[in-house]
Homo-oligomer: A and B are copies of this chain.
Amino acid sequence: MSTPSILILPGDGIGPEVMAEVVKVIDWFGEKRDLKFDVSHDLVGGAAYDKHGTPLADETMEKAQKADAVLLGAVGGPKYDVLDFSVKPERGLLRLRKEMDLFSNLRPAQCFDALADFSSLKKDVVAGLDIMIVRELTSGIYFGEPRGIIKEGNERVGINTQRYTESEIARVARSAFELARKRGNKVCSMEKANVMESGILWRDVVTEIHQAEYADVELSHMYADAGAMQLCRWPKQFDVIVTDNLFGDLLSDAAAMLTGSLGMLPSASLGAPMDNGRPKALYEPVHGSAPDIAGQGKANPIACILSFAMALRYSFDLGDDATRLEKAVEKVLADGVRTADLLGEDGATPVSTSEMGDKIIEAL
């Protein structure tokens, strides 16, 4: 097989800073573990708009389609708030998701032992927490038509459409069941079948796929509002949660915050297998572009580094190397090394973004 390719899109805000640390990690794996990657860089979001007048140039889209894995930093910032909807930084990210057809967004909500005190939740509620939210990422109200702001009489009317086909639901359900089999073997599906017909179809299709193909996995259903409650009350009741694009957006953010590890959480967005057997894939930290601290060396690069670990595992079948990287991160945290977002305890060693990267390389 030819050298696997990685396309790096640092994006906006703290994106470039945290991505610089990932590049160090990639280099380490190249030198010490002889894992060679063909790495290229390009622009997305506001950075792409500044140069090309669009948040994702067509050439970049083409490169992303061909890459074995895309690593993305973050998009957006107040500077771009005034832009028209169609060229906002977010559209670049949404175009990548949609055109690469990355339907399965894996968002682990994990509480790192060393950081359990950082949660706003009581320690016993979050310590050891390890759940996986599988969010549908290429359909639903994010992409449904008709949409827009129209004029009706004297009034403006804002319209969006939630639309799910059977096969869209089936494929993300399969991906959740597959993951569950490698974890706690439990899936909880969340929708609002009590008020939305699209939720009824969601529930029906998940149930059908379960009965036909995954009857060995334990399946439960929950209304999304009850799900939000239960995540706040006792998140350890969950193993894998599967839900639609919009609910997944809110629920995974809430879950990430609960862990106290927001600057630590990676994500993987996976599509169908390519000719070489690897899935189309994009990896990005769950945190945003944090424009308020951009360029100050304060950002925590761990979420982005752990996103690369997910790439090792899901794109390159290098589970052992992924684990090695994750363990290195855990060791550094256990040693009390902390970026600014995690300060507050006694005895912590405050470090900058790039020092954190160096410490992780050392631990490797």
- Chain A residues packing against B (C-beta within 8 Å): 76, 85, 88, 90, 94, 120-122, 125, 141-142, 144, 147-149, 152, 155-167, 192, 194-202, 205, 224-226, 228-234, 246-247, 249-251, 253-254, 256-258, 262, 288
Contact = CB atoms under 8 A, between A and B. Distances in A.
Given A197-B85, A257-B233, A156 B148 contact: no
A215 to B, nearest CB: 20
A234 to B, nearest CB: 7
A196 B145 CA distance: 11
A171 to B, nearest CB: 12
A158 B72 CA distance: 32
Number of copies: 2
Q: Which of A121, A165, A226, A250 has the most CB of B within 10 A?
A: A250
Contact of A121 (B76, B122, B249): B122
Given A120-B122, A121-B121, A202-B158, A197 B147 contact: yes
The A contact surface, by secondary structure, is helix
B198 A159 contact: yes
Q: Which 9 pairs between the two chains have the least Cβ-Cβ distance?
A: A158-B201, A158-B198, A229-B257, A228-B254, A225-B253, A160-B162, A232-B257, A155-B166, A228-B250
Contacts of A202: 158
Contacts of A164: 157-158
A160 B196 contact: yes
Contact of A156 (B121, B160, B166): B166
A94 B249 CA distance: 25
Nearest to A125: B120
A120 B232 contact: yes
A45 to B, nearest CB: 12
Contact of A250 (B125, B144, B224, B262): B224
A44 to B, nearest CB: 15
Contact of A162 (B88, B162, B234, B256): B162
24 contacts: A90-B194, A94-B195, A121-B121, A121-B122, A121-B232, A141-B196, A156-B165, A157-B163, A158-B164, A158-B199, A158-B200, A159-B161, A160-B161, A160-B198, A192-B246, A224-B249, A225-B249, A225-B250, A226-B288, A229-B253, A229-B257, A229-B262, A231-B254, A246-B246
Nearest to A150: B197
Contacts of A224: 249-250
Contact of A157 (B76, B147, B201, B257): B201
Contacts of A229: 253-254, 256-257, 262
Contact of A166 (B94, B157, B246): B157
A249 B149 contact: no
Contacts of A144: 159
Nearest to A245: B195
Nearest to A190: B250
Contacts of A228: 228, 250-251, 253-254, 257
A203 to B, nearest CB: 10
Contacts of A159: 144, 161-163, 197-198
A297 B30 CA distance: 66
Contact of A201 (B121, B156, B166, B201): B156
A257 B194 CA distance: 20
Nearest to A203: B158
